[in-house]
Amino acid sequence: MDISQVIRRPDPRKSVQVELREVVRDVGNKPHVFIRARLSGWHFPERAPEPFVVIGKAVSRFVVIGPGGDTADAYFNVRPAAAREVSFGYGKAISWDFEAHVDAQALPRLDRARLPKGVIDLRPARN
């Protein structure tokens, strides 16, 4: 075989989609505001170590892997900075880096006046 016969397949990591949304979720019987990053277009298997997602310098508080591993919902208690890459891993090791432009600053915000009393809002971002 020579180089003219080699076939290069497209990198499947480039097909990963990231959808950001501000959501309210109960944690410890208290409502919290989170930025949810839903990753799709990849297989996210369940593993013993805890999964995590990194956007810029922000690390998710927790991740919920969808049925069959088709999606991974990462919940951030800070608003991540804009980034061109999203990383997914388990424990403390990054397994995959995905090219995906995300900008949580441009997200529509939930109407705080309509949220339940005692809601815990996003933490201020640290530089």
Give the up-direction half-sphere exposure of residue 99: CA atoms within 13 A in the CB hemisphere.
5
* pLDDT given at position 116: 85
**Domain ranges for the chain:** 13-103
Mean of the pLDDT values across residues 20-41? 95
* pLDDT given at position 91: 96
* pLDDT given at position 20: 96
How sure is the predictor about 31, in pLDDT bands with cuts at 50, 70 and 90? very high
Write out pLDDT tens, residues 58-112: 999 999 999 999 999 999 999 999 999 999 999 999 999 999 999 988 899 999 9
How sure is the predictor about 1, in pLDDT bands with cuts at 50, 70 and 90? confident
| Contact yes or no for 72/50 (Cβ under 8 A) | no
Among candidate residues 69, 80, 78, 92, the one with its CA nearest the CA of residue 123: 78
Residue 3 makes CB contacts below 8 A (sequence gap 6+) with none
How sure is the predictor about 4, in pLDDT bands with cuts at 50, 70 and 90? confident
Write out pLDDT tens, residues 34-53: 999 999 999 999 999 999 99
Mean of the pLDDT values across residues 23-35? 95
What top-level class would CATH report for the domain 13-103?
mainly beta
